[in-house]
Amino acid sequence: MNQKNLNQIYSFRRISLVTVIAVYFLILVGGIVRSTGSGMGCPDWPKCFGSWIPPTSVDQLPGNYQEIYSAQRVEKNNKFVAQLEKLGFKQKADQIKNDKSILVEQEFNAVKTWIEYVNRLIGAIIGLFVLLTVFRSLFLWPLSKRITILSVLNLFLVLFQAWIGSIVVSTNLLPWMITLHMILALVIVCVLLYVHFQSYKLIYPSKSTTEKPNTLFGILVIGFLLMLVQIVFGTQVREEMDVVAFEFGNLLRGEWIDHLGLVFIVHRSYSILLLAVHLLFFYQVYKNTLRHVSIFKWSQGLILVIFLEILTGVGMAYFGVPAFLQPVHLLLGTMIIGIQFVILLQLDSQRKLKIENQSL
């Protein structure tokens, strides 16, 4: 491979890595938006109160601003409901049509408005990073068409994610829409990690570093699926907590946990199963993988992040759901998915290499 190709690969790897980090930062900021109740700080999208620069005082808004933006959201929701019905999701469409809470317009709060506005600005900047990733991937077309195609696909996913974000606002933070919004963020992260890994393989051919890639791969696939289920449980806990917080007027945070239902107990106990599976995985890696290889190092990081995730969960349960821990807990959960995916890519490469060697 000539130096020009190497430079192009290194350039793509740098921007794709920066984009992954930026997306994770946006997830953290999104968690802050959620924990501060700022999700409806801007009642419209993509502008904020009809302007690219949001107001700092309610005096800058018309007296009937709540009715104005409520009517705008109704119009947008009607279009979304019609699309859902065409796609066969009649139950979800009826849920939106019959949910009167969607029409409740929040009063202007300058702090929440600017928190949400900063969230959108960061999202726009990350969109530019994604565009740059696509641009750099074009130079790799002769070397790997897969990288270019997936980078372009990821751009469309980001655009779709932006549209979903607008629906999240128009539906007044409908819980299942928020969950879909987060799942799409995880898909975007995984696509970015995949193309980043594929660009690494262009420079460094795979070599065998583990005797049992199939066993390790199988255990981690189970762990990956379990983690996805845990994230779903987590979103349900968060939905319940939002209801409890509303009932308490966002006061007496220390009593919120006591009013959560069965799903919280399942979510809390389920973490023990997750930890056990990943400790088994780490033990197998320790036995079967050379200590200096990337798989072992990533596995160490995985266990560390899982422990931190559990600790933040314990902190929220026993210390009155501190607001600063909520976005950290969300970020760590999404980081676990990302690390798992990276290790799975490495193990899959090992499996394919072993099959090739056996066929020789």
Please answer whether residues 116 and 41 qualify as being in contact, where contact means their C-beta atoms are separated by less than 8 angstroms: yes
Instruction: Give tens-digit pLDDT for 156-195.
Output: 999 998 888 888 777 776 777 888 888 899 999 999 999 9
d(C-alpha 344, C-alpha 217), whole Å = 6
Quote the CA–CA distance of 126 and 225 in Å, as a whole number. 28
In our burial notation (b when 16+ CB lie closer than 10 A, e otherwise), range 312-335 reads: bbebbeeeebeeebbbbbbbbbbb
pLDDT of res. 98: 79
- Going residue by residue through the chain (360 aa), what tens digit of pLDDT does each one get? 688 888 999 999 999 999 999 999 999 998 888 888 788 888 888 888 888 899 999 888 888 888 888 888 888 888 888 888 888 888 888 877 777 777 777 788 899 999 999 999 998 999 999 999 999 999 999 999 999 999 999 999 999 988 888 887 777 767 778 888 888 999 999 999 999 999 998 888 766 666 678 889 999 999 999 999 998 888 888 878 877 877 877 778 778 888 888 888 888 888 999 999 999 999 999 888 766 678 899 999 999 999 999 999 999 888 888 888 889 999 999 999 999 999 999 998 887 776 655 554
Structure tokens given for 265: 């107990």
**pLDDT for the residue numbered 292:** 60
Digit-coded pLDDT (tens) for 76-90 = 888 888 888 888 888
Q: Which string of DSSP letters, residue by residue, matches 258-303?
A: GG--HHHHHHHHHHHHHHHHHHHHHHHHHHHB-TTSHHHHHHHHHH
Q: State both tokens at 47.
A: 């502008």
Distance from the Cα of residue 135 to its chain's centroid: 23
pTM of the model: 0.88
